[in-house]
Amino acid sequence: MTTTQTQARPFVRNRLIRDSISRATYDAMKCDPSIYLFGEGCEPKLHYDAPYILEEFPNRVTTLPISEDGNVNFCVGASLLGLKPVYDAISADFLYRAMDSICNTAAKLGFVRGQEPTIVIRAEFLTGGPTTGQRPEALFTHIPGLRVAVPSTPRDAYGLMRTALETPGVTLLFEDREIQDGEFEEDDLYLGEPVHFGDASIRRYGERGGPLVLTYGVMRQVVERALEGFERPRVIDLRSLYPIDWKRLDWCMSRHFQVLIVEPDIPYGGIGAEIVAQLAERFPATQFRRLGAKRETVSANPVAHAGLLPTQEAILDALIF
């Protein structure tokens, strides 16, 4: 069986990362009465995902109509009243319907008012087809006033959510639904440790002079599986896509001369392209390569969808050991 075939799983929805985000929200709500949850189907979803939130804070959970742009503007209005809204957009694709309210209203509040609001927008990367299987994370990194994060572990999901709720600013927190729970333990949940935006995670230290692999989201798992048994590569999980941890990356560049960026999104105009552009200006002698999803419309067929992503073989072929 090929790697592509092993990646071509049926419908998957990870539990541990989702539970960590819910637990972080609950812990923050216990300390801060200004945090409210909004979303389409928010109450029914919490009955399934985190009933303890609905049981303890029934008056701070509101289901909104199917109107993404209006819902984000509703959250903007709530923030102007001093609340800290968490809006669950469900699918990342639905954020296209709310681009104006996110990029032209929420993101500009801090500049216009001189005081940053605290707004968190949650969304999942799904595998449902051409209009429910896209990844818009790179689009939002271009907008001043927005923070963007894609956790790949329950610990990071908890820590980033707590930081987003405790730090003024507008945050887009994406959940990669295809990250498999199998590698995680229950002990990985609810650790209570904050993860700061702009703080990447060293997943493997590797050896000086070995390849440096930068990745995020679901591709972090694929990279680590591909490199099992190889000691030299260092692996960095970006976690925060804006801001990016340039300080850590610059430090790594003084020790590594080959950089491979593996991203789950389309490389053209993406996160990897920006990293290569900036690092190449500062470290022109370094060899860079990028792997990412094919620039094609996402199919509703999960096998075809999985085939768009880089494989373990492709990752190994791109490295020089």
Tell whether 2 is covered by a domain: no
Could you say which of 139, 159, 188 is where a domain stops? 188
Q: Do 229 and 126 sit in the same domain of this protein?
A: no
pLDDT band at 3 (very low <50, low <70, confident <90, very high): very low
Q: Do 166 and 212 sit in the same domain of this protein?
A: no
pLDDT above 90: percentage of residues in the chain: 78
pLDDT per residue over 118-176, tens digit each? 999 999 998 778 888 899 999 999 999 999 999 999 999 999 999 999 999 999 999 99
Range of the domain at 228: 198-317
Number of folded domains that form the chain: 2
Query: Would the pLDDT of 309 be above 60?
Result: yes
Query: Would the pLDDT of 223 be above 70?
Result: yes
Q: Do 286 and 157 sit in the same domain of this protein?
A: no
The predicted pLDDT at position 4 comes to 39
Distance CA 250, CA 65 (A): 46
Q: Do 211 and 294 sit in the same domain of this protein?
A: yes
Query: Would the pLDDT of 185 be above 80?
Result: no
Q: Do 150 and 225 sit in the same domain of this protein?
A: no
The predicted pLDDT at position 105 comes to 96
Distance CA 176, CA 297 (A): 18
Tell whether 77 is covered by a domain: yes
Distance CA 24, CA 157 (A): 8
Tell whether 296 is covered by a domain: yes
Q: Do 95 and 69 sit in the same domain of this protein?
A: yes
CATH number of the domain bearing residue 31: 3.40.50.970
Query: Would the pLDDT of 2 be above 50?
Result: no
Distance CA 117, CA 77 (A): 10
pLDDT band at 110 (very low <50, low <70, confident <90, very high): very high
pLDDT per residue over 40-60, tens digit each? 989 988 988 899 999 999 999
Q: Do 242 and 171 sit in the same domain of this protein?
A: no
Closest by CA position to 79, among listed 7, 8, 159, 168: 168
The predicted pLDDT at position 11 comes to 43
For the chain, the average pLDDT equals 91
144 versus 17: the higher-pLDDT residue is: 144
The answer to whether the CB of 132 falls within 8 A of the CB of 91 is yes
Could you say which of 188, 214, 239 is where a domain stops? 188
The predicted pLDDT at position 272 comes to 97
Q: Do 179 and 279 sit in the same domain of this protein?
A: no
Q: Do 246 and 164 sit in the same domain of this protein?
A: no
Q: What is the DSSP letter of 105?
A: I
Q: Do 137 and 205 sit in the same domain of this protein?
A: no
CATH number of the domain bearing residue 254: 3.40.50.920
Q: Do 177 and 211 sit in the same domain of this protein?
A: no
pTM of structure: 0.92
292: helix, strand or coil: coil
Q: Do 302 and 250 sit in the same domain of this protein?
A: yes
Distance CA 287, CA 276 (A): 10
